[in-house]
Amino acid sequence: MEKFSTHTGIGVPLRQSNVDTDQIIPAVYLKRITRTGFEDALFSSWRKDPEFILNREPFVSGSVLVAGADFGTGSSREHAVWALKDYGFKAVLSSRFADIFRGNSGKQGLVAAEVAQDDIELIWKVLENAPGTEVTVDLVAKMVTAGSVVAPFQIDDYTRWRLLEGLDDIGLTLRDEPAITAFEAKRPPIKPTTLPAKF
Amino acid sequence: MTEETSPEAHDGAQVPTVSTSTPRKTAKTLAEKVWRDHVVKQGEGDGDAAQPDLLYIDLHLIHEVTSPQAFEGLRLAGRPLRRPDLTIATEDHNTPTLAIDKPIADLTSRTQIQTLRNNCAEFGVRLHSLGDAEQGIVHVVGPQLGLTQPGMTVVCGDSHTSTHGAVGALAFGIGTSEVEHVMATQTLPLKPFKTMAINVEGTLRPGVTSKDIILAVIAKIGTGGGQGYVLEYRGSAIRALSMDARMTVCNMSIEAGARAGMIGPDEITFEYLKGRAHAPEGEDWDAAVGYWKSLNTEADAEFDAEVFLDANTLEPFVTWGTNPGQGVSLSDNVPNPEDFGDDNAKAAAERALAYMDLKAGMPMKDIRVDTVFLGSCTNSRIEDLRAAADIVRGREKDPNIRMLVVPGSARVRLEAEAEGLDKVFLDFGAEWRFAGCSMCLGMNPDQLEPGERCASTSNRNFEGRQGKGGRTHLVSPVVAAATAIRGTLSSPSDLSPVVEPVETQSTSTVA
């Protein structure tokens, strides 16, 4: 995973709450077996509307999505994060993220920055009044800046550390492999196993 | 679960009535005990700065959609799959429910299924493929085989993994990176959840089901109300539910924002598990039951939040909008966006009504539907099929309605056929399909047409969820059945009595 410390790019105001992962990427795109190449799938239904924000200049080249509350609800599909990343987004700002989406973002180096709804409203105004305004997401200081608006954001410290260091989760866990083996030795033998198969 | 927060009342919830005389942490909840018993390594630090705990995973369920990139990740890193004996796969999301003996027509779907088969063969994972008697929706298959048991940690790359919490397991959905992590290490680094009690007291009236309970819970706490929490469903109305019904409740925990929902194991749980293929036997069974009983939430344990719901007054529930929190009683009217407090909720309601093509104030029961879908990991178990069959038996389908009945697993299908339920549905004019996710999610051939309106026993009414432009009303199996008869959203109480066959007919009137 690439290290992330700070990013500055065009902010995209998405004035909508409950943006579920079926909207971020509809299920028909989930048949692919690759981890990349999902940029065309991002918001594919909404992008058929010429007025949709990502069809309008200068938002087409946006890289910081500023969304309403409860972003990423619904399905666990990590494809939602892949699609946002493939399109070019580096960070999503919302006052509340669905748990699984937030977890998936952290694994893939997409910053899910929790910003108070009042600040989201202020940033929306800035981006709508001056389209193309760049938003800076500073993961070191945990601050976002959009024009004159400067606001703090929340992200859990462990995820932040991993993003700053660009660390691979599996590699980290495997450092504790002896602890896993020790735990397995103590697991009760009456716990079920899938093999040998019983019917 | 480590935070010392006081219980908070949620939107519309009554003031919590929990004892505060006992210090926190002496008495534990079910979720906390299951967590405690799976900690491989405790994370250091407190609060926000805490490292995650490393949690052992007892069972990893796999399907074709969220696994190919994870298997590929293992291959690229040269890592083995650590515990094939704690892993099981099935084909469900992508599979057709007709002509399952023929090659899958859609090439991308066929490739994805074939990729799962290749991966399972390469890594030694048990797979139940299309055509196999144990194939079916992953969340129907696990409990059915007795593989999900109380006190276990269960994960799957699917948000409806919460279903397995009905047996008292801590079960939750994960993303593909986490799928790969579990494959490689059989663990997950996780921050402890907070706990929320959902207390449902009273007795459900006839025609009101577990689906109505969970839809009412979601409408009450909202789609984000459960974020960061494990829900524990409690109270007399929950205790009275069968296992199939409990699975329906836990299944939709994620629709309230909670990754997991649980129900304390009791005699109903043990009765369900006993004799299942992978359930313990003999002395092991007794030892297991002893352990399972010890896991229940202690009387003086505290939850971080509590919600109360009165089962006595609950009515059949239905959604009007495009998220599962946008629901009302079936006897209510379509709400008016003007009545929503904040601007964002109002805008969301306006947008939902436009998408759903509904007018504020119209009675929900006047809404005419095109399609009825009985299926999905929420409502495709044998009891769901029986309940719907009991409604349609001897009645006529509205001629304009298309009804799909899709058993959750091949095993459920066989069981239903042994009881003659297939005949009941076919005589009624419904389609009797093979097992799979089917019309729940619009990625296999079973999809709505643009503008088509569906009464669906599934779990999500998102825009386009059941097919591009499709409109979804979430309902219980008995409401689905009644709707198929009347053609408009209906509850069983709206139906005329069944016309008795001539030889037994007495005073019944012809409808």
Are A22 and B465 within 8 A, CB to CB? yes
Residue B505, pLDDT score? 43
Q: Is the pLDDT of residue A135 over 50?
A: yes
- Does B135 reach chain A within 8 Å, measured CB to CB? no
Closest Cα in chain A to B463: A23
- Does A48 reach chain B within 8 Å, measured CB to CB? no
Residue B22, pLDDT score? 41
What DSSP string runs through B367-430? -B-SEEEE-TTTS-SHHHHHHHHHHHTT----TT-EEEE--SBHHHHHHHHHTTHHHHHHHHT-
Closest Cα in chain A to B145: A199
At A116-130, the pLDDT tens digits run 999 999 999 999 999
The candidate with the shortest Cα–Cα distance to A93, out of A6, A5, A1, A12, is A12
Q: Give CA–CA dist B266/B198, Å, rounded.
A: 17
Residue A2, pLDDT score? 85
Q: Give CA–CA dist B216/B315, Å, rounded.
A: 9
CB A90 within 8 A of CB B187: no
* Average pLDDT score over residue span A103-132: 97
Average pLDDT, chain B: 93
Residue B320, pLDDT score? 98
* Average pLDDT score over residue span B244-264: 98
How many helices (H) does chain A have, and how many strands (E)?
A: 7, 7
At B156-194, the pLDDT tens digits run 999 999 999 999 999 999 999 999 999 999 999 999 999
- Does A198 reach chain B within 8 Å, measured CB to CB? yes
**In chain B, positions 277-296, which contact chain A (CB-CB < 8 Å)?**
277-280, 284, 287-288, 291
pLDDT tier for residue A28 given thresholds of 50, 70 and 90: very high
- Does A77 reach chain B within 8 Å, measured CB to CB? yes
Q: In this structure, what token pair is assigned to residue A108? A: 């893939």
A85 lies in a domain? yes
Chain B residues in contact with A175 by the CB 8 A cut-off are none
pLDDT tier for residue B50 given thresholds of 50, 70 and 90: confident
pLDDT tier for residue B386 given thresholds of 50, 70 and 90: very high
- Does B227 reach chain A within 8 Å, measured CB to CB? yes
Q: What was the ipTM of the complex prediction?
A: 0.95
A59 lies in a domain? yes
pLDDT tier for residue B501 given thresholds of 50, 70 and 90: low
Residue B31, pLDDT score? 98
Are B48 and A179 within 8 A, CB to CB? no
Q: Is the pLDDT of residue B78 over 50?
A: yes
- Whole-angstrom distance between the N-terminal and C-terminal Cα of chain A? 42
Domain count, chain A: 1
Chain A residues in contact with B58 by the CB 8 A cut-off are 191-192
* Of B1 and B83, the one with more pLDDT: B83
Pairing type for strands A6-14 and A134-138 reads antiparallel
Strand partners, B54: B41, B189
- Does B108 reach chain A within 8 Å, measured CB to CB? yes
Share of chain B above pLDDT 90, in %: 89
- Does A75 reach chain B within 8 Å, measured CB to CB? yes
Residue B499, pLDDT score? 65
Task: Nearest by CB to B464, from A22, A180, A188: name it.
Answer: A22
Q: Give CA–CA dist A78/A30, Å, rounded.
A: 10
Residue A137, pLDDT score? 98
pLDDT tier for residue B276 given thresholds of 50, 70 and 90: very high
Q: Is the pLDDT of residue B14 over 50?
A: no
Task: Nearest by CB to B159, from A76, A97, A197: name it.
Answer: A76
Closest Cα in chain A to B257: A98
- Does A34 reach chain B within 8 Å, measured CB to CB? yes
Could you list the beta-strand ranges (E) of B268-362.
Answer: 305-310, 317-319, 327-329
Task: Nearest by CB to B462, from A20, A172, A179: name it.
Answer: A20
**CA-based nearest distance A53→chain B, Å:** 16
Superfamily of domain B363-494: Aconitase, domain 3 (3.30.499.10)
pLDDT tier for residue A168 given thresholds of 50, 70 and 90: confident
Number of residue pairs across A and B with CB atoms under 8 Å? 213
What DSSP string runs through B92-150? -SS--SS-TTSPPSSHHHHHHHHHHHHHHHHHT-EEE-TTSTT-B-HHHHHHHTT-S-T
- Does B411 reach chain A within 8 Å, measured CB to CB? no
At B85-104, the pLDDT tens digits run 999 999 999 999 999 999 99
The candidate with the shortest Cα–Cα distance to B35, out of B60, B10, B58, is B58
A22 lies in a domain? yes
Q: Give CA–CA dist A123/A117, Å, rounded.
A: 10
- Does A70 reach chain B within 8 Å, measured CB to CB? yes
Strand partners, A154: A114
At B367-381, the pLDDT tens digits run 999 999 999 999 999
Supply the range of the domain harboring residue A100.
6-174
At A32-74, the pLDDT tens digits run 999 999 999 999 999 999 999 999 999 999 999 999 999 999 9
Residue A134, pLDDT score? 98
Closest Cα in chain B to A178: B40
Q: Is the pLDDT of residue B18 over 80?
A: no
pLDDT tier for residue B421 given thresholds of 50, 70 and 90: very high
Are A45 and B463 within 8 A, CB to CB? yes
Q: Is the pLDDT of residue B329 over 70?
A: yes
* Average pLDDT score over residue span B338-355: 93
Q: In this structure, what token pair is assigned to residue B258? A: 């909670």
The candidate with the shortest Cα–Cα distance to B243, out of B372, B373, B150, is B150
- Does A193 reach chain B within 8 Å, measured CB to CB? yes
In one-letter notation, the amino acid at residue B266 is D
Q: Tell me the CATH number at A98.
A: 3.20.19.10
Residue B25, pLDDT score? 62
* Average pLDDT score over residue span A74-103: 97
Q: What is the CA radius of gyration of chain B?
A: 23
Q: Is the pLDDT of residue A20 over 70?
A: yes
Exposure b/e, B294-323, CB count within 10 A at least 16 = b: ebbbeeebbbbbbbbbebeebbbbbbbbbb
Q: Is the pLDDT of residue B510 over 90?
A: no
Is residue B445 classed as helix, strand or coil in its secondary structure?
coil
A179 lies in a domain? no
CB B483 within 8 A of CB B475: yes
Q: Give CA–CA dist B465/B355, Å, rounded.
A: 12
A188 lies in a domain? no
- Does B56 reach chain A within 8 Å, measured CB to CB? yes
- Does B414 reach chain A within 8 Å, measured CB to CB? no
Q: Give CA–CA dist B157/A170, Å, rounded.
A: 17
Residue B500, pLDDT score? 64
Q: Is the pLDDT of residue B468 over 70?
A: yes
- Does B377 reach chain A within 8 Å, measured CB to CB? no
Task: Nearest by CB to B180, from A16, A23, A170: name it.
Answer: A170
Are A45 and B464 within 8 A, CB to CB? yes
A72 lies in a domain? yes
Q: Is the pLDDT of residue B117 over 60?
A: yes
**Exposed/middle/buried for residue B340 (C-beta within 10 Å: 0-12, 13-18, 19+):** middle
pLDDT tier for residue B20 given thresholds of 50, 70 and 90: very low
pLDDT tier for residue B344 given thresholds of 50, 70 and 90: confident
pTM for the predicted model, two decimal places: 0.93
The domain limits of chain B are 363-494
- Does A73 reach chain B within 8 Å, measured CB to CB? yes
Pairing type for strands A143-146 and A149-152 reads antiparallel
The residue among B83, B344, B446, B460 with the most chain A CBs within 10 A of its CB, best to mutate, is: B344
